[in-house]
Amino acid sequence: MCGITGWIDWSRDLTQDSEQLERMTETMAPRGPDAAGTWISAHCGLGHRRLSVIDPENGAQPMIRRDGDRTCVVVYNGELYNAPELRAELESRGRSFTTNCDTEVLLISYMEWGKSCLERFNGIFAFAVWDSAEQHLFLARDRLGVKPLFFREGNGTFMFGSEPKAILAHADVPARIGAEGLAEIFIVGPARTPGQGVYQGLRELRPGQCLTVTREGNRLVTYWKLESRMHTDDVNATAARVRELLQDTVERQLVSDVPVCTLLSGGLDSSALTSLAVEYYQGTGQGNIHTYSVDYVDNDKHFKAHAFQPNADAPWITRMSEHLGTIHHNVHFDTPELVDALRAATLARDLPGMADVDASLLLFCREIKKGATVALSGEAADEIFGGYPWFHREEALNANTFPWSLAAGMRTDLLHPDIADWIKPQQYLADRYAEALDEVPHLAGEDAATQRMRIMSYLNITRFMPTLLDRKDRMSMAVGLEVRVPYCDHRLVDYVFNIPWEIKTAGSREKGILRQSLVGVLPDDVLWRKKSPYPKTHNPNYLDAVRGKLLDVLNDPSSPLLPLINVQKVREIAASTDASSNIPWFGQLMSGPQLFAYLWQTDLWLREYNVSIG
């Protein structure tokens, strides 16, 4: 993976200000530690930082190819998993190649098929192509939004970047937020509304969208979205098709010229990917695969099972690693490391995030990077197959809001009354929910219960899954690790979205059809294990540490957070004996300690980015 950025100004000669482009590009250095490059012309500049995965000796970017009088230049972040097939087809049409990298396949695909090349791609990507013949910049993002792409437009200029920091590095772009940005932080966050960049003027290209930037104006197009169709396969045929798609995408995503590993929690999703990877490695004679897991010092002493986290992972990790014969690495962190990493996690996101869930992932990825450059992860299976508890609870199904945002009232109470009056947080959340409902592609003839489960699937795929994909991208790329997510293969997502709920829950179990598709792949005890989410620390020392950090903020009259929050209410919560409550205020994992850490991250973000509010 890589970091990309760029800048268009139709009214000035950018060659006279190349240092600006260099600064924007340099912000992407952690995403691409192996090489850097820029390309600049009168009105367009492109920057790239490279993490070498395929054909490390070649494939430098920005990549330039010429066809007669036409010159095309690309910066690209991602992987095309069907690059060999595309290359063969292009060669049959007379195109030639000088490298073995998928960057060249992507660029020549664009030169051959234009914007319709997107329909042919299987992969995760965000890219921009300057086309001299058309005098336009063409940008696109993959169908599920695995790879990020932010942009800012106006007054004859256009800027883009893999992360907000690349755009904020431009001298003409202030770090400023208004009412919408504050609502995103305090009522939606750490999620984001699709397309919302939080900072004023900043937007994100939504999954499955492309954008053409011209002197006359910009044109945004949705080239892919979820569609509802009748599902005609029975349970057995459905399970077979799920198995076929999953196996194909895992094998495609194992292709790399650098070491590949898997993240193994001992749960259904990661165990399935690891098992299929081991099978492929054994079949191709590539030896044993390395696996990694994360946990926290003394978590075994402090763990208490509850509805959102029913059991610990450690015994199951050992079970799967021994069963498959992987070379396993247990990574443990203690409370001080986790607390210290909150700052780095905030800077990696350019926003407050998922507290210790972010911080631990960043530390975890840093350890993995010491032995591998590419990892496979089980992200997105719960959103796609309906694994989360809120798919199965009446109060969440009938809440008339996002099921991960059930504590909107409590979050509103934490705001300063003037801020609450200004941003109207609960109305903002209700409006975003209504917008999401309006997008759902309904199927004629569905009964109310079936329609509700389709709505839940759509909300999870388009609203919750991006939060976890953002987290995975920022934390992994902050240390130069590429993480691939096979469950986000668009063919698999498109197929599973239309599986009826009674088949998805075959055997009266969450993700029942996925379990049935993996019979014979996993041991029975792992196959039918109750879902447990990404581990968080249960050490009371973490609660004490983040509570102390937040109290330091509350006691600092210069804190930029104080005018935004109800200080007395926050103090009351910090002083309460149930501050470690397991009742989440966001998602499944963010409860009392994570609330304190999130508010502390918000204060840090306001200071570090010198954010102005208005």
Give yes or no for residue 501 having a pLDDT over 80: yes
SS3 track for 305-344: CECCECCCCHHHHHHHHHHHCCEEEEEEECHHHHHHHHHH
The residues, any chain, with a CB within 8 Å of residue 497's CB and separated by 6 or more, are 226, 228, 384, 457, 458, 461
Give yes or no for residue 32 having a pLDDT over 60: yes
Q: Is 399 buried (19+), middle (13-18) or exposed (0-12) by CB count in 10 A? A: middle
Question: How do residues 504-563 score in pLDDT, each as one tens digit?
Answer: 999 999 999 999 999 999 999 999 988 776 666 778 899 999 999 999 999 999 999 999
Q: What integer pLDDT is reported at residue 527 of this predicted model? A: 93
Q: Where are the domains of the chain?
A: 2-222, 235-527
Q: What integer pLDDT is reported at residue 580 of this predicted model? A: 63
Which of 225, 118, 218, 115 shows the shortest CA–CA distance to 160? 218
Q: What integer pLDDT is reported at residue 256 of this predicted model? A: 82
Q: What is the mean pLDDT of residues 297-324?
A: 75
Q: What integer pLDDT is reported at residue 539 of this predicted model? A: 83
- Residues with a catalytic annotation lie at 2
The residues with which 154 forms a beta bridge, in sequence order, are 157
My answer on whether omega of the bond before 62 falls inside 30° of 0, hence cis, is yes
Q: What integer pLDDT is reported at residue 313 of this predicted model? A: 80
For 2-222, the fitting CATH number among 2.70.98.60, 3.60.20.10, 3.90.190.20, 3.20.19.10 is 3.60.20.10
Q: In 442-490, which ranges are E strands?
A: 482-484
Q: What is the mean pLDDT of residues 92-100?
A: 94
The residues, any chain, with a CB within 8 Å of residue 13's CB and separated by 6 or more, are 42, 43
Confidence category of residue 95, pLDDT binned at 50, 70, 90: very high
Q: What is the mean pLDDT of residues 5-33?
A: 94
Q: For residues 75 and 60, give the distance between their C-alpha atoms in angstroms, rounded to a whole number.
A: 10
Q: For residues 487 and 461, give the distance between their C-alpha atoms in angstroms, rounded to a whole number.
A: 11
My answer on whether omega of the bond before 593 falls inside 30° of 0, hence cis, is no
- Tell the residue number behind the tokens 């990696």, with chain if given: 348
Q: For residues 573 and 597, give the distance between their C-alpha atoms in angstroms, rounded to a whole number.
A: 13
Q: What integer pLDDT is reported at residue 58 of this predicted model? A: 66
Confidence category of residue 257, pLDDT binned at 50, 70, 90: confident
* pLDDT, mean over the chain: 94
Q: What is the mean pLDDT of residues 396-414?
A: 95
Distance from chain centroid for Cα 470:
3
Give yes or no for residue 326 having a pLDDT over 90: yes
Grouping H, G, I as helix, E, B as strand and the rest as coil, residue 123 is strand
Q: Calculate the CA dihedral of residues 92, 98, 103, 106 and round it to 10 degrees.
A: -20
Q: Do 77 and 53 meet the contact criterion of CB atoms below 8 Å apart?
A: no
Full-prediction pTM beyond 0.85? yes
Q: What integer pLDDT is reported at residue 530 of this predicted model? A: 82
The residues, any chain, with a CB within 8 Å of residue 322's CB and separated by 6 or more, are none
The residues, any chain, with a CB within 8 Å of residue 566's CB and separated by 6 or more, are 413, 414, 415, 416, 417
Q: Is 575 buried (19+), middle (13-18) or exposed (0-12) by CB count in 10 A? A: exposed
The H or E element that residue 290 is part of is strand 290-296
Q: For residues 466 and 459, give the distance between their C-alpha atoms in angstroms, rounded to a whole number.
A: 11
Tokens of 501: 């709920």
Q: What is the mean pLDDT of residues 57-72?
A: 89
Confidence category of residue 34, pLDDT binned at 50, 70, 90: confident
Q: Which CATH superfamily is domain 235-527 in?
A: HUPs (3.40.50.620)
The H or E element that residue 46 is part of is strand 44-50
Q: Do 29 and 36 meet the contact criterion of CB atoms below 8 Å apart?
A: yes
Tokens of 579: 């501050």
Q: What integer pLDDT is reported at residue 298 of this predicted model? A: 76
Q: Do 137 and 123 meet the contact criterion of CB atoms below 8 Å apart?
A: no
Question: How do residues 150-178 score in pLDDT, each as one tens digit?
Answer: 999 998 999 999 999 999 999 999 999 99
Question: How do residues 440-497 score in pLDDT, each as one tens digit?
Answer: 999 999 999 999 999 999 999 999 999 999 999 999 999 999 999 999 999 999 999 9
Q: What is the mean pLDDT of residues 107-132?
A: 97
> In the chain, what percentage of residues exceed pLDDT 90?
86
Q: For residues 107 and 9, give the distance between their C-alpha atoms in angstroms, rounded to a whole number.
A: 23
Q: Do 40 and 21 meet the contact criterion of CB atoms below 8 Å apart?
A: yes
Q: Do 7 and 14 meet the contact criterion of CB atoms below 8 Å apart?
A: yes
Q: In 178-233, which ranges are E strands?
A: 202-204, 209-214, 217-222
